[in-house]
Structure formats: structure tokens, C-alpha cells
Structure 1
């Protein structure tokens, strides 16, 4: 079987790689991460012009094609550069929800400007008590004719600070944790009753906690069928989990490369670290973990493509295996670098932070191990 990328995928990989190497050096990335918005509007417009914001979407929606393999090609390169622009929050999370649940009119209103780079979106699905249970939804929407009223609290909403419109999972019927009775709505962030507390996470990303206090919305803001949103939410979060797995592979590749380079120049007892057999073995283990991570990532992406986006067992297998690899590679990178590895000026410590955050994003390593075993 031929596992090589297609010509289009190779062009996409080269395009993203060229941007990261030429326009996204370490100092530039740090300046962007520390800016008021946490990302570059100029870069975001460039992503739109290059067509990267269309990657996850179907051709019928004006997208690149919607292939999971296409997505991991781009995400691996983004992982190498520790990208802070909200590609994950906008195109993968919010974009997938609109693509799968939105009407033609809603896609024209929300999805088209997203792909053009003119609209910032966020998907608010997690709540303080929900952990990784996507059906644990207490945020409520009461529908009364052509209107509805939204109340509740959503936590750690990626891109929640910059989002102009927020997609929200709400309970329209049933009890907390029921799979039935969960719906999707979209809210203009400037609507009265919407309150946001924004913050930077440890890995340089931006997020927000969002409260909805008697937020009045037209019933036309519902996405998809009332009470039947759980499958769309699960598919969206699994797609995001696959994406961060690919990002982790890219970050691990850079961590390994930088660790090997450092071991060749850092001297201890008047010889370079690379001459110590014990450290050679540790770096060899890092290489093996990375190779296994690449293999299972490609397996999960191909499985997702062959099953029309529904591949929970394959995603859990990848998230479990790659989560373990990310921990080993990240920790070993820091150990071999020593104290300098955790300084803010050196990038290897930031790769470690992002790899650590990914281990707990969209289901922890332990959560996905248990889900794989139960499936």
C-alpha cells in the first residue's frame, strides 16, 4: 500500500513549511503570543489568501475537500512552528459544527466569512463540571415560539476572547448527561447578557470562560435539529483530537531535532553529551516513540476518511498512543537540556508546554485509553 502524500498534499505541506521557516521564526512567534490579541491578524488574512482556512471543509461548502489526511498534513507543520493563530478553534471546532449542522443560509452567514478570514468564531461546549463527558450539558436554552433564552456557563473556550460569534451547546430538554435533548445555537458575542473572562493558557494559546445570563436569541439561531446535536459534537471533538495529535507529532519532531543538536554541542566532563551511551539510548527511544506516533496518526486519519468522519476507536487509539509519546519526548527533551530547557527564552520548553497541554485536550491520554478499551 502506498502511504505517500498526493501531489496536492505535498504542495500544501511545502506551503505551510515555507511559511513557518521564513515568516514564523521563534522571536516573531513569541512577540505574537505576547500581543494583546494573542495572534496576528496579518497572518490570519494570509492563511485565508493561501486557502488554508478551507482545508477541513467539503467542496460543496467551498472548501479544499475535507480530508482528514489533508488536515494532519497542515497540523504537523503548524505544530513545528508552535502556531498560536486560532486555526484549531476557528476552522476545526467551529467550522466543523457549522459544516455538519448548519443550513445553507447559516453556512453563507458563518462559514463563508470564516474561510475568507473575515470572521472569528469559537465553539463553547465544555462546562466546569463536564470533564470529558460531552453529554454533560447544563447550559440551557428555553425555546418559546420564535424566540429562546440562553443561560449557563462555558469554560476554556478556545478563541473565546477574539470570537465575534460563539457556537454553544445547550440543553433544550432532558436531564444533565442525557444524550438526547442537546442542541446547538450561535450567539453574537456582543449580545446583552454575554460576559467573558479571557486569559492566556500555559502553552501560549488564548481562551475564555463565558457566561450567558438570560440572553435572548431568535429561534433561527439554532443549528440543526433541536435536541439531536450530540453526534455532531462528538464528531467535531474527535476531529479536533486528531488535529492536536498531528500538531503533537510536529512538535515532537522539532523537540527531538533540537535535543539531538544540543547534545552535539553541549559539553560535560570535556566531551559532548552525544558521546554518552545512556543519552544516545534515551534519544533513540524518543525517535522510536515519534515513529510510532506518526504511524498511528496516519492510521487514524485514513480510518476517519474511510468512515465519513466517524472513527472514535481509531481517534482514541491515536490520542492514547500519541499522548504517551508526547509525555516521553517532552520530558526527555527537558532532561537532556537541563535547567536551560525550562527558560522562557529557549523554545524547547515551550514545545514541552504545548505537548503537555495536548495530552489533556479533547480527552486525556487515560480517557482515550479507557474509551478505546470499552469500544
Structure 2
């Protein structure tokens, strides 16, 4: 099989990689992390101008990509550079949900960089159970609580899940709606999230339910896996460079057998992760995609922890300083395991799906 990127995807990758290499330095990221917004509106606008947001949507949705490999290419580069802008939550998940709801005017505005979205589904005590929804919809009003809502403070609209009778439905809530309280905070891996309290908050039904939410969650699993892959590539490259630069006893420490073997283990893990991401992207439209997605996410968690810990240990104390690139990258790798189900969750899910 040929796993090479198509010409269009190669151009997309090259364009995004060059842009991020020139514009998204460690100093730039640290400035963004220290800001109140937790993201850069200038970076967001430039990503839209480059067509990066449009690559996450199909042609019918106003974009020019939208397939599993398009998503993987974009998020691998975002992970490689440690981008903290909420492309996953705002553009991929929020945008694809609005596209499924037929709200193409808002999708067009999002692709142009003029709209921000957030998706509020998780609730306190819900862990990774997608059916754990206690928020209630009464007509066109919603009452309940939502936890760890990414990008809620910067969003123009928030897509909220709520129980409507026996079913779970999705609603669109305006940022300034009455009865909506947003309590924001910074995240360890960068960006900001918030706890939401809704008290008879006006909302517009989107005509979507759990099927649509599960579909975008599957897209997000490919995205977060590819993002973790990109971050692992950076962590491994930084470690390799450090080992060949830092000298002890008159020679680079990377030439010592013990460290060389540990570095070889990282490279092996990296190739396994790359194969898993390719597999997940390829099976995104298959009937048994859940099995492959859980296998990939489980491997991402296990390999990611090894890569992050080994990279930090082989660097020594410098790896813990915020001014050094690896400090942020290692956090991103570790926290990726806790989004959309961690290692244990996806192992149990994989076993259950295999036995079905």
C-alpha cells in the first residue's frame, strides 16, 4: 500500500509547517499562554487565511478536505508546533456539528476566521460516559451544568447537549444569553476552558442528537491522536539534538550506549504511533472504526507517557523550564491521553468491541 500523502495534502502540510516554524515560536506561545484569552486572534485569522480551517470540511460543507487524512495532516503539524488555538474544539467539532445542522452561514463565517464555537457536553461526574447528561431542556430553555468546556470564553456560540425527554439533543446557545454563567480558567496544556452554569438559558434546537455528537467525537479522536504524534515528533527531535549537543567526558552524551538505547526506544514508539494514526485515519469511514479508534487512542496514551517521561529524564532539569520548548510539548503529550477517553477507557472499549 502507498502511504504517501497526495500532492494536495503534501502542499497543505508544507504550507502549515513553514508558517508555524516562522511564526509560532516558544516565546510567541508563552505570550499567548499568559494572555487573558489564552489564544491569539491574529494566529486564528492567519490560519483561516491559509485555508487550514477549510481543510477540515468537505466540499459540500464549504471546505476542500474533511477526510481522515486531511484532519491528520493538519493536527500533526499543530501538535508538532504546540499550537494552543482551539482548532479542534471550535473548528473541527463545533464547525462540523453546525454543518450537519445545515447552518452553513455560520460554517462559512467560521472557515473565514470570523466565528468561534465551543462544544459543551461533559458534565461533573460524567468521566468519559457520553450518555451521562443531566442537563435538561424545557422547550427552548436549558438548565444544568457543563464541565471543562474548551474555548467557552472566546466562543460566539456554544453547542450544548441536554436531555429532551428520553433523548439527548443538541442546542445552540448565544454567548450573551441570559442565565448563562461562564467560569473560565487556564489549562495545563495551554488554552482555556470553563465551567458552565445554565439557568433557563434560551437555546435554539439544532435538530441533532447523539449520533451527530458521536460522529464528531470520532473525528476528534483522529485529530487528538495526530496532534499527539506531532508533539511526540518534536519531543523526540529535541531530545536527539540535546543528546548530540550536551557533552560529558569530552564527547556528546548521545554516544553513550545507555542513552543511545533509550533514544532508539523512543524512535520505535514514534513509528508505532505513526502507523496507528494512519490506521485510524484510514478506517474513519469504515463500519468498524470504533475498534480502530480505541486501539489508536490506547497506544497514544501508553507511548505518549513513555516519550514524555524519557525526553524529560534525558534532558535533565532544563526540560522543566517554561522557556524551553519541551516543557510545553511534554504537557501536551500527557494531557492528550485524558481527552475523549484515556488509556484504560479505550482498552476496556477495545476489549468490549472485539468480543461483540
Q: Is the 8 A contact 2:133 2:163 kept in 1?
A: yes
- In 2, the alpha carbon distance for the partners of 1:367 and 1:96 equals 25
Quick check: 1:136 aligned with 2:132? Answer: yes
Find the residue that maps to 1:261 and give its secondary structure: helix
Match of 2:142 in 1: 150
SS of aligned partner of 1:304: coil
* Equivalences, count: 353
Across the aligned residues of Structure 1 and Structure 2, the Cα RMSD in angstroms comes to 1.3
For 2:97, the equivalent position in structure 1 comes to 97
Task: For 1:47 and 1:343, locate their aligned partners in 2 and report how far apart those are by CA, in whole Å.
Answer: 28
Structure 1 gaps, min length 5: 175-180
What CA distance in whole angstroms lies between the structure 1 residues aligned with 2:81 and 2:33?
A: 12
- Structure 2 partner of 1:107: 104
TM-score by length of 1: 0.91
Counterpart of 2:205 in structure 1 is 222
1:350 corresponds to which residue?
328
- Counterpart of 1:322? 300
Deviations 1:261-300 (A, max 9, x none): 1011213344421122111111100000000000010011
- Runs of 5+ in structure 2 lacking a partner? none
Contact 2:173/2:202 (8 A) holds in 1:
no
| Partner in structure 2 of residue 50 of structure 1 | 50
Moved segments of 4+, more than 3 Å: 268-271
Displacement of 1:90: 1.0
The answer for the alignment partner of 1:63 in structure 2 is 63
For residues 65 and 267 of structure 1, the distance between their equivalents in structure 2, rounded to whole angstroms, comes to: 46
Alignment equivalent of 2:254, drawn from 264, 267, 274? 274
The Cα offsets for residues 198-253 of structure 1, whole Å up to 9 and x where unpaired, read as 11111112111111011133xxx11125xxx1121112112112101101111100
Tell whether 2:332 aligns with 1:335.
no
How many angstroms apart in 1 are the aligned matches of 2:30 and 2:49?
24
Q: What TM-score do you get using the length of structure 2 for normalisation?
A: 0.96
Provide the C-alpha distance between the structure 2 equivalents of 1:165 and 1:356, rounded to a whole number of angstroms: 29
Structure-1 separation of matches of 2:312 and 2:65 = 39
Q: Provide the rounded CA distance (Å) in 2 between the counterparts of 1:63 and 1:224.
A: 22
Alpha-carbon distance in 2 for matches of 1:61, 1:350: 34
Q: Secondary structure at the match of 2:66?
A: coil
